[in-house]
Each structure stands twice: as structure tokens, then as C-alpha cells.
């Protein structure tokens, strides 16, 4: 029984020894394979650290407002007899836009004109009688008062008629009319909006910390979503003297030329103002920087002893960002080549294969304007 047990243990030991031996041999052969496997180059793109000149700027958002804009209403009630403009057409200051019925008013005007003429003749007659000594001074004064009252009534009636002739208060562009011929309109009824579009105001707010750097005639650039490829230029024309206590900001008004009427009141605009003198700095594409909580870094390309291209990770200090670019405050020199893509696959001394085909090169524009797809 003891001999059989010993033989069984020996057999089990041989089997397990063979299994572990084979496993060890497999691991050894696999290690040899990976140890002797040729190093694979990591595909990346590269660019040089470049010198640039940036002006200090501030940005804000604002709304466009008409220099002159009004919703025209009626001062007197009546029936619309004629509309003298087309929707959306340019109008000139004083141009007649809408006429209301004035037939009754003009008949009354004729009566008052006749009464005014009669009062004037009576005044002239009594003035001669007074000069001849045939009339008292009090009678002459009464006739003067009657003539003045008649003239005042005449002028008031003429004003009532003018109230029914709705005219453009300034030159601009008309909106869509709110009345039709034959429609009765009451006092205060909206008729049409008129907006002066050239030039046009852009109003925006800035924090009080930037107040010392803002002045009138300062250049302003604005962009709107409707015309993403265009930049509109203007100047600061007014600065609100008071500060908003709730937001600790102040309002700035810029005036922009708008000859093509692309900008309309109520549009949303993104504003850029240049502050101070330009400064020289170093810039790299943002894709070349690995942003981490413990520090930003970049991979600098170098050539090893065998003439192969490798990368070395270097921690850098970054500054302002604009468009696709970021300022490098410290850690890189102008002219050094750095990797601009595939940073997550890179490590210190990793072998790289640089492909600078424009089709795969990341964007590095100061003012990128990608098209909608």
C-alpha cells in the first residue's frame, strides 16, 4: 500500500513538473520574442514653436440698436385713405407714409379761414375808427382779441389735419405696415416701424476693472452669427458714466458703419477691443499641449545616435489662448519642433514617425473660421 502511494505521488509530481516546465518555457520564448521585436514608430504630426505678436484684447457680447428707431403711431383717429410706401423700402425724413380721412376737417378749416378773414377785416375797420376818434380803445382791443382767437383756431385745425398725415420723422428703412386702406384706426394705433440702419449702435457691458483702458474713438471689431465670415469695424462713441451696482459693470456704445444694412437692430454681436500696446511672444497649436492638473507639457522632437526621431516630454508654462494657438510663457524656445497630435500615445524617448501632410495636420489658425457641415 505504501509503495503504491509513493508511485502515485511520483507520477503526479512528474505531470505537474511537466506542466510548469512547459509554461516556463512558453514564457521564456514569449519574452525573447518581445525582447527582440523591432520598435514600432508612433505616427504623429509636428510643427515648430513660432514667434508672434499679439495685442492685448478684451471681448464682450452686445446688441445692435438703431441710431434712430421708432414705432410710428397715430395722433388722431380716422379712416386710412391711402398708404404711400411699400413694406421694407427706404424712406426719407418728412416723407408722407399714411393718410387718414380729412374731408370733415378740411371743411371745418375753410369755415375757420373765413372766420379769420372776417375777424381781420373787422380789426382793420375798428383800427381806422379808433384813429379817427370814432371808437373806444376797449372796443379795438376786443376786436384784436377776436382776430387772434380766430387765427389760433385756424392754426389748431391745420395741426389736426397734419396729425392725420403720418410722415417719416427721420430717414431710414420702413418695416411692415400694420394698417390697411379703409381701416379705422384710433389714437395711438401702431402704423409702421422706421429704423435708421446706417450707421448703427452696438451696446455692450464690460467689468469695472477695464474702465481705465476704455476711451472714446477706440477701435472695435464685431462679428455676428448671420455673417460669420465678416468682421465689422467701428469706434467707441459713448461710455456710460455710472456703474451698475448689481453687476459692477458699465455700458459702452460703439458706432459702426453699415452701408449694406447687414446689421439690424436686435442682433447679437461679439465684440473685440484692443487694449494697450502689442507684445512679442511664443505660440504653439493647442493640440501640441497636454493639459494636466499637475502641469502642462509638450513633446519635443530630437534625433538619437542612430539618426531616428524620438520625443522627450517637457513641462511648460502656458498663457493666453486665442483661436487654435496658445502662448508659451516658459519651457520652449522659438524654432524647437514639437509633436502636435497623438500625445496620449507618446512617452519619453518614444520613436515617432512624423507625417506633416496638410490633410492630417491639426489647425493652427489665430482666427479659425470652420465651415458648417
pLDDT at 293: 84
Answer whether 0.85 is exceeded by the pTM. no
Rounded to an integer, what distance in angstroms lies between the CA atom of residue 353 and that of residue 44? 6
Grade residue 373 by pLDDT with cuts at 50, 70 and 90. very low
Instruction: Read off the CATH number of the domain in which 267 is found.
Output: 2.40.30.170
Residue 372 lies inside a defined structural domain of this protein: no
Same domain for 318 and 306 = yes
Which run of H or E residues covers position 55? strand 50-73
Task: Report pLDDT digits (tens) over 162-193.
Answer: 888 888 888 888 888 888 888 888 888 888 88
Same domain for 326 and 223 = no
Residue 373 lies inside a defined structural domain of this protein: no
- 281's torsion region: left (phi>0), alpha (psi -120 to 50) or beta? beta
35-49, 224-238, 267-281: least confident range: 35-49
Residue 7 lies inside a defined structural domain of this protein: no
Task: Report pLDDT digits (tens) over 42-75.
Answer: 888 889 999 988 877 788 888 999 888 888 888 8
Residue 87 lies inside a defined structural domain of this protein: yes
Residue 14 lies inside a defined structural domain of this protein: no
Same domain for 335 and 248 = no
Is the torsion defined by CA of 30, 351, 307, 44 positive or negative? positive
* Residue 57 near residue 275 (C-beta atoms within 8 A): yes
Rounded to an integer, what distance in angstroms lies between the CA atom of residue 100 and that of residue 332? 76
Does residue 34 register a pLDDT over 60? Answer: no
Same domain for 202 and 62 = yes
Within 10 A of 22 (CB to CB), how many other CB atoms are there?
10
Same domain for 347 and 291 = yes
Same domain for 285 and 235 = no
Cα 46–Cα 49–Cα 51 angle in degrees, nearest 5? 145
Structural domain ending residue among the three candidates 217, 244, 278: 278
Q: Is 161 helix (H, G, I), strand (E, B) or coil?
A: helix
Percent of the chain with pLDDT over 70: 94
Same domain for 309 and 348 = yes
Alpha carbons within 13 A on the beta-carbon side of 243 = 11
Same domain for 208 and 62 = yes
Structural domain for 136, as ranges:
102-163
Same domain for 120 and 89 = no
Residue 152 lies inside a defined structural domain of this protein: yes
Same domain for 286 and 201 = no
Same domain for 206 and 62 = yes
Residue 5 lies inside a defined structural domain of this protein: no
Task: Report pLDDT digits (tens) over 308-343.
Answer: 889 899 999 998 888 888 989 998 999 999 999 888
Does residue 35 register a pLDDT over 70? Answer: no
Residue 120 lies inside a defined structural domain of this protein: yes
Does residue 26 register a pLDDT over 80? Answer: no
Instruction: Read off the CATH number of the domain in which 174 is found.
Output: 2.40.50.100
- Please choose, from the candidates 264, 244, 252, 342, the residue with its C-alpha nearest in 3D space to the C-alpha of residue 67: 264
Q: Domain tally for the chain? A: 4
Rounded to an integer, what distance in angstroms lies between the CA atom of residue 151 and that of residue 154? 5
Structural domain ending residue among the three candidates 278, 306, 323: 278
Angle between helical axes of 137-163 and 103-132 (0-180°, round to 10): 160
Is the peptide bond prior to 85 cis by the omega test (within 30 degrees of 0)? no
Structural domain ending residue among the three candidates 242, 259, 278: 278
Amino acid at each position: 500500500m505504501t509503495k503504491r502511494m509513493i508511485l502515485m505521488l511520483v507520477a503526479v509530481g512528474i505531470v505537474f513538473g511537466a506542466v510548469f516546465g512547459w509554461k516556463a518555457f512558453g514564457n521564456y520564448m514569449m519574452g525573447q520574442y518581445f525582447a527582440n521585436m523591432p520598435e514600432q514608430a508612433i505616427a504623429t504630426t509636428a510643427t515648430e514653436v513660432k514667434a508672434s505678436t499679439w495685442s492685448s484684447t478684451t471681448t464682450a457680447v452686445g446688441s445692435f440698436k438703431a441710431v434712430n428707431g421708432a414705432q410710428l403711431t397715430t395722433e388722431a383717429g380716422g379712416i386710412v385713405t391711402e398708404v404711400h410706401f411699400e413694406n421694407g423700402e427706404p424712406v426719407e425724413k418728412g416723407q408722407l407714409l399714411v393718410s387718414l380721412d380729412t374731408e370733415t376737417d378740411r371743411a371745418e378749416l375753410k369755415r375757420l379761414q373765413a372766420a379769420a378773414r372776417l375777424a381781420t377785416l373787422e380789426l382793420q375797420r375798428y383800427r381806422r375808427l379808433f384813429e379817427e376818434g370814432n371808437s373806444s380803445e376797449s372796443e379795438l382791443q376786443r376786436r384784436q382779441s377776436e382776430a387772434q382767437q380766430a387765427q389760433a383756431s385756424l392754426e389748431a385745425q391745420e395741426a389736426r389735419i397734419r396729425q392725420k398725415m403720418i410722415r417719416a420723422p427721420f430717414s431710414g428703412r420702413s418695416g411692415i405696415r400694420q394698417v390697411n386702406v379703409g381701416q379705422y384706426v384710433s389714437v395711438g394705433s401702431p402704423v409702421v416701424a422706421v429704423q435708421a440702419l446706417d450707421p448703427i449702435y452696438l451696446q455692450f457691458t464690460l467689468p469695472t476693472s477695464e474702465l481705465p483702458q476704455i476711451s472714446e474713438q477706440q477701435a472695435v471689431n464685431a462679428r455676428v452669427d448671420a455673417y460669420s465670415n465678416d468682421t465689422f469695424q467701428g469706434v467707441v462713441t459713448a461710455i456710460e458714466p455710472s456703474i451698475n451696482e448689481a453687476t459692477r459693470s458699465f455700458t459702452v456704445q460703439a458706432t459702426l458703419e453699415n452701408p449694406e444694412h447687414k446689421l439690424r437692430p436686435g442682433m447679437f454681436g461679439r465684440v473685440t477691443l484692443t487694449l494697450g500696446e502689442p507684445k512679442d511672444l511664443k505660440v504653439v497649436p493647442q493640440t501640441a499641449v497636454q493639459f494636466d492638473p499637475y502641469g502642462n507639457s509638450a513633446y519635443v522632437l530630437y534625433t538619437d545616435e542612430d539618426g531616428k526621431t524620438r520625443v522627450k516630454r517637457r513641462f511648460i508654462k502656458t498663457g493666453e489662448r486665442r483661436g487654435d494657438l496658445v502662448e508659451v510663457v516658459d519651457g520652449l524656445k522659438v524654432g524647437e519642433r514639437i509633436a502636435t497630435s497623438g500625445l496620449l500615445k507618446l512617452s519619453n524617448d518614444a520613436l515617432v514617425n512624423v507625417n506633416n501632410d496638410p490633410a492630417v495636420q491639426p489647425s493652427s489658425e489665430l482666427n479659425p473660421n470652420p465651415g458648417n457641415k
